[in-house]
Each structure stands twice: as C-alpha cells, then as structure tokens.
Amino acid sequence: MAHAKTSYVCLPCRASYKQPYDRGRERICPRCAQPLIHVGSAFAPPRRRDTQAWRTLSVLLHAGIRFHKSCCGGPGYRPRTLSEVRERMTYARRSGEPFARALVRYEVPEALPRG
C-alpha cells in the first residue's frame, strides 16, 4: 500500500508540492534548489500572487506551526491574515504565552492591562 502524500512548501518561490513523506529525506525545491519545508497533509496553499497570505504562512512556519490532520478533522485554527497574526503576537508578548500557542488560539482573550 502506497503512503499518502503530504505538502511541502518553498517560501521564496511561493510554491507548494505534494510528495510522499519520508522522514530521512530532505526535499529540494525544483525552482530554486532551496530545502522545502514539510507543512503537513491538511495544508491548502494560498495563491502565488497573494503575498499577504504567504507572509502570514511564513510567520506560522517560522514559529513551528504545521498543518497536520488530527483524529477528529483538520489541523485546527490558523490565522489567515497579518492583522490576526499581529493581534495574537501582541497578546503573547503581554501575557507571556509562547508565540506558537498564541498563534493557534481561535479567539484572543480581552486586552490585558499594560504593566
């Protein structure tokens, strides 16, 4: 039985590729020869010309957030705009919560008082 395919992305090229997952093998972008980032099987790439969406994706990937399926469905909430990312990062700075956890919050709690 063949293994299911999963998504890999190249941020500089704004390209996504579906390939079989192999933990020991590094994937290389066919356009720029840079290493591809494994993002998971529940990933839906933005359009190449949507630079804001790719910037948002870049923040998520650099924070260590991926798009893996869970037993109950998809990967859960992921911010789709830079304003949602900014809102969650501001909350993380003020509350002390790790960025990766704050970025996947569905809703940000009410504003915390400034120190």
Q: Per residue in 37-71, pLDDT tens? A: 999 988 999 999 999 999 999 999 999 999 888 66
Instruction: Copy the structure tokens of residue 74.
Output: 């998809």
d(CA 5, CA 7): 7
Between 24 and 33, the higher pLDDT residue: 33
Rounded distance between C-alpha atoms, residue 108 and residue 106, angstroms: 7
Q: Return the structure tokens found at 8.
A: 């890999």
Question: What pLDDT was estimated at residue 68?
Answer: 85
Would you call 27 helix, strand, or coil by DSSP?
coil
State the distance between the two ends of the chain, measured CA to CA, in whole angstroms: 57
> Do 67 and 45 contact (CB within 8 A), yes or no?
no
pLDDT at position 105, please? Answer: 87
